[in-house]
Amino acid sequence: MIGLNLCPFAASVYLGDRVRFQVSEQRSAAGLLDDLRQELMHLHTAPAEACETTLVIHPWVLNDFIEFNDFLQICDATVAELGLEGELQVASFHPQYQFAGTRADDIGNYTNRSPYPTLHVLREASVERAVAAVSDPDAIYENNILRLEALGIEGWDALWKAPPAG
């Protein structure tokens, strides 16, 4: 994300140490939902200066993309149930992420691919500020697709096999 600048807002939050990484050890969707609830409440109560966003990484559950995608409706319902609509939202990343109407190997899907299924809890105010700071927010997605097309599947695979920098 950061190295390819797929999200132009991620670097400052990451470098500012305002990203919370939570690895869920849950083995069921119900357990993961409990972990998500905890993270939603944590982000709701934490000052943005200390924690801007949370990544809930869950390697043991929802490895099937269709099940994961269906679970996202439950995530949205949970945000509403907790009275956090308009404040927090859940974005999604998955090893087999596939946008509707695309082939599985379409390079555009890689904008939302990750090593493990991941729920990204975002503050809506942060998203709104970030989008307002960009003259053409749609260009972000379009530029991401162009960047990934130039990289290609082989280039993407090489990035995953390269040793970490530093």
65-122 residue pLDDT tens: 999 999 999 999 999 999 999 999 999 999 999 999 999 999 989 989 999 999 999 9
How far is Cα 27 from Cα 17, in angstroms, rounded to an integer?
29
pLDDT score, position 164: 65
Residue boundaries of the structural domains of the chain: 10-155
Q: Which residues touch 6 (CB under 8 Å, ≥6 apart)?
A: 111, 144, 147
Alpha carbon dihedral 136, 142, 147, 152, in 10-degree steps, equals 170
- 39/102 Cα distance (integer angstroms): 31
* Residue owning tokens 């991941």: 118
Number of Cβ within a 10 Å radius of residue 149: 12
Length of the chain: 166
Q: pTM for the complete prediction?
A: 0.89
